[in-house]
Amino acid sequence: MRSLIMKKIGLPQMVNHNNEESSLSQFILPLLVACALLGCSAKSEDILLLRRQMNKERVFYQFDKEYMLKTKKLREEYPQSLDAHMAYISARRGVKAAAAEYEELAKSSKGPLFKYLALRAKLMGLSYKDREERVKITKELEGLASKHKEIEASFDLAQFVLRDDKKVRSIAEKLYKERPNYLPYQMLWTRSLKANDEAEKILKMCEKGIQSKVLEVNLCANISDITPDTAPKFLDQRDELLKKLIVKTLKSKVKKDWRATYRHLSSLAEEDRTKKLKEDFITAVRKLDPAWTPLAQYSFYYGELDFKEFTAIEEMGKINKELDFKVRISKLSAIANDSSQSKKTRARAFSNLGSAYLNPAHLNKEEAYQSFVKSHKLEAGSIYLLKDLIGLILELNKDVDYGLELAASALETKQAKTEMTSRATSTSSETLMAGQKSLLEPMFSLQGQLYLKKGDKEKAKLSFLNSYAIEETEENSFFLGEIYQTQRPMLALDFLLKSFSYKSDQNPLNDDLSLRRDSAIEEIHTNYLAGTWNKKATLELYHSNDKNSGDKKEDKPHPFIGKPLVKDKLADFRGGDFDWEKLKGKRVILSFWATWCTPCFQEMAVLNKLKKQGKLKNFKIVAVCTDGLSQKTKVKKIVKNAGIDFEILLGDGSFRDKYMVSAIPSMFFLNEKGIFIKQKTGYSPELEKEIFKTFK
């Protein structure tokens, strides 16, 4: 049976565990699914092997039609296999379309499996912004599981649906006891262990992975959670186990094992006792393969890197978290101007300098522009750099022709072509993953603005239409309305009114464009509709029609908006419990961040500036570090080095989940009555303005 299936899906029938391509133990896919619902057989492993093989070959973030067709065929051959169905759903990319398909199957079969799959596909199609819907579907899945024993203890439910640590732990423990030698269950059990009081079990599982015939590095997944803050009594045992892991990893000669071990060592590299382990490991690996780099996915963003380039880029990642602006600029400048570094490294350093100068806490647009130009001259920039550079060309009135050259080259970048290919080959319009933003839409919009500056309205119109076809935003709707104003005034009016209705956080109109929009609408009313317009009445009518049409989904506010602050017990970084009464009668920003999150440090620099300036009265900032309980030492170091002058609290995933925070940085605004009035996710260069506008 196994050979037959392997032949059908086009994979090798024999597997050599000494080869990197072969061992199932070497990968953890984002949607790893076990055969928990309907029993296990060889086909489950074959499906996982198919997904692993195809994921190695497919382009990052790109729809792969061949992969989708193979999973579809496998699903048809094994209609009762949860694994086959989940492989197909994840391959579809247009998961909303997949959800509709499974809803029909659920109606016809009336079976719990297809109802579960319909809900899972629907859940996968939601972004982090769809909080209420995610919570609703999760509850439905839990309810379905409680009525059907085959789902109640499913790996998929525990791995991808549940956020309650206790429930996940219960399922993980049950599955592990049932099949203690089955790798997915071993990994699920391992990840459910907490270093604070289960360090021995973590070490035992890691030891099991090291001693197995084929090294299972993934069973050491949370050995890096054992730190001086979480389990100080077990540090010696941890270090001895790390040494064994290094020895076994080097013997295996499997590159994915090398990378996994490197990640564990890097997580602990700030401890003096583990720095040498990491350095010795790197030296040993590079003797085996001088071209080795620890993170293969870097190549998507930076192209092929040698080890020196990788090390420099990794170091810049740490520098970008430096809250002392002068120190950050000094260190980045040293790398950027170091002629011994490669062009790629220096270009990246100049790019980081440009981003640093765009932080509103230290805003210097001219320096940012010059840094981006130097970066691009050293090496053709990514679409992200080009987007920022073209934006500055427009703002600072620089050479438009240079901007158009950059826009043309941006549409030829690897990232842009990947999205174009995905859109061209997808069977669904849903070509991007949930929550993922288009790179092409803003680039076409910037190109259109450049053509307008040059006075070429026809080319500008084509660019904005391209932008609009990808995603309808306030910005491209406004510019199309302005372009069509004299040619087709009624069409122009429709575009201009549409620019009010979208809630996109990608291209909100600035004050200047808002005034131009109101003026254009007024002019159309005066010249073509015989009279002035009632702005409020017109927009109310337009929005009513827009909502009734169902064409555009408005972003729903966070479920906490309008509700009072949750006052759970949390410790501050000094060790005492935080007194929430300090916030009584104050306007408050409640921010969620993590020690590993670079955009969080950009946000914290802005918050620190606001606190020190004291321009906002009756105002408090509270920042909850979501990995603070396991990183107390690192948090203290950050606070000290950056001179942070606001409240820093230590949390974990449970507090973040309670606030329905699915991505960080995330920020809540509260009024003097302690009521949530606004929420935003992600860092924005406009953060300072947004805070002043909210608390004006």
Dump pLDDT digits (tens) for 375-388. 999 987 778 889 99
Q: Where are the beta strands (DSSP E) in 393-509?
A: none
Q: What is the mean pLDDT of residues 500-517?
A: 66
What is the pLDDT, as a whole number, of residue 94? Answer: 53
The pLDDT of residue 81 is above 70: yes
Quote the CA–CA distance of 421 and 423 in Å, as a whole number. Answer: 5
Give pLDDT tens digits for 166-177. Answer: 788 888 888 888
The pLDDT of residue 32 is above 50: no
Closest by CA to 284, choosing from 237, 252, 306, is: 252
What is the pLDDT, as a whole number, of residue 4? Answer: 32
Q: Which of 12-16, 193-197, 600-604 has the lowest mean pLDDT?
A: 12-16
Q: What is the mean pLDDT of residues 191-205?
A: 91
Within a domain: 446: no
Which string of b and e fits 52-68 if b means at least 16 CB within 10 Å? bbbbeeeeebbbbeebb
Within a domain: 672: yes
DSSP labels, 360-418? GGG--HHHHHHHHHHHHHHSPPPHHHHHHHHHHHHHTT--HHHHHHHHHHHTTSHHHHH
The pLDDT of residue 435 is above 60: no
User: CB 612: neighbour CB atoms within 10 A?
Assistant: 13
Residue 448's pLDDT band (boundaries 50, 70, 90)? very high
Closest by CA to 266, choosing from 320, 223, 231, is: 223
Query: For residues 675 and 650, is the Cβ–Cβ distance under 8 A?
Result: no
Residue with the bigger pLDDT between 284 and 106: it is: 284
Q: What is the mean pLDDT of residues 202-208?
A: 94
Within a domain: 39: yes
What is the pLDDT, as a whole number, of residue 464? Answer: 92
Give pLDDT tens digits for 535-580. Answer: 666 666 555 544 444 444 445 677 888 989 888 888 888 878 899 9
**What percent of the chain clears pLDDT 90, i.e. is strictly above it?**
24
User: CB 145: neighbour CB atoms within 10 A?
Assistant: 23
Residue 297's pLDDT band (boundaries 50, 70, 90)? low
Grouping H, G, I as helix, E, B as strand and the rest as coil, residue 34 is: coil
Boundary of a domain, candidates 174, 192, 210 = 192
The pLDDT of residue 110 is above 70: no
Residue 334's pLDDT band (boundaries 50, 70, 90)? very high
Closest by CA to 623, choosing from 637, 633, 605, 615, is: 605
Q: What is the mean pLDDT of residues 305-318?
A: 85
The pLDDT of residue 248 is above 70: yes
| Residue ranges making up the domain that contains 1 | 1-192
Give pLDDT tens digits for 251-260. Answer: 888 888 888 8
Boundary of a domain, candidates 160, 192, 224 = 192
Within a domain: 660: yes
Closest by CA to 594, choosing from 645, 641, 651, 679, is: 651
Residue 418 exposure: Cα atoms within 13 Å on the Cβ side: 15
**What percent of the chain clears pLDDT 70, i.e. is strictly above it?**
77
User: CB 595: neighbour CB atoms within 10 A?
Assistant: 18
Residues 6+ apart with CB under 8 A from 687: 360, 603, 606
Within a domain: 409: no
Within a domain: 516: no
Most confident by average pLDDT, 35-49, 206-220, 396-410: 396-410
Quote the CA–CA distance of 23 and 21 in Å, as a whole number. Answer: 6
Handedness of CA 64, 68, 69, 71 (dihedral sign): positive
Boundary of a domain, candidates 143, 166, 192 = 192
The pLDDT of residue 44 is above 90: no
Within a domain: 535: no
Within a domain: 443: no
The pLDDT of residue 269 is above 60: yes
Quote the CA–CA distance of 286 and 296 in Å, as a whole number. Answer: 15
Please count the structural domains in the chain.
2
Residue 153's pLDDT band (boundaries 50, 70, 90)? low
Quote the CA–CA distance of 319 and 327 in Å, as a whole number. Answer: 8
Residue 155's pLDDT band (boundaries 50, 70, 90)? low
CATH at 623: 3.40.30.10
∠ CA 326-392-504 to the nearest 5 degrees? 100
Give pLDDT tens digits for 617-676. Answer: 888 999 999 887 778 888 888 888 778 889 999 887 777 777 878 788 899 999 999 999
Residue 523's pLDDT band (boundaries 50, 70, 90)? confident
Most confident by average pLDDT, 204-218, 306-320, 390-404, 619-633: 390-404
Closest by CA to 151, choosing from 277, 35, 292, is: 35
